[in-house]
Amino acid sequence: MLEQTFVIIKPDAVAAGNVGAILSRYEEAGLRIHRMDLRVIDGSFADRHYVEHLERDYYPPLREFMTEGPLIALVLTGDGAVARVRALHGATDPSVADHGTIRADFAESTRRNAVHASDSPETAAREIGLWFGEG
């Protein structure tokens, strides 16, 4: 089923010059770019994106990280895009991410882990609305 998912190439990966390599992973998997924007977000916007994480111990440094420099916000489309992008990304902690996943290849740490992707179609709809309006 054709689906949309929301993705962030996080500030660590943009600063390291890994944007092109990461975008290629999606395109080579047959996913297509529907929306794409380089932007810097502030802390209150990070709070809205990570609303389910606000009370976590790891949130204050995560908020700092996500606002430290430019990131790439993306909407990707394709059959089963939500699950397929999560599989391409690998585990949150790159030290246990499967070989060949984006996080295994590009993430620095559990926090600075290169990419974000929606975890369900419902989350994708919320995140696409937050970042791109209803587009």
Active site residues: 116
Provide the minimum distance between the beta carbon of 52 and Mg ion in the complex, in angstroms, as a whole number: 8
Cα of 62 vs its chain's centroid, Å? 13
Residue nearest to Mg ion (CB): 119
Q: From Mg ion, ligand CDP, none, which one binds at residue 92 (CB under 5 to 8 Å depending on kind)?
A: ligand CDP
Site for ligand CDP in 77-106 (CB under 6 A): 92
Q: How far apart are CA 131 and CA 6, in angstroms?
A: 9
Q: Give the end-to-end CA distance of the chain in Å, rounded to a whole number.
A: 19
Query: Closer to Mg ion at the Cβ: 9 or 20?
Result: 9
Classify the C-alpha dihedral 115-26-20-47 as positive or negative: negative
Q: Is 111 in the site for ligand CDP (CB under 6 A)?
A: yes
Q: Residue 9: which of 107, 93, 130 has the closest Cα?
A: 107
Interaction with Mg ion in 105-134: which residues (CB under 5 A)? 119
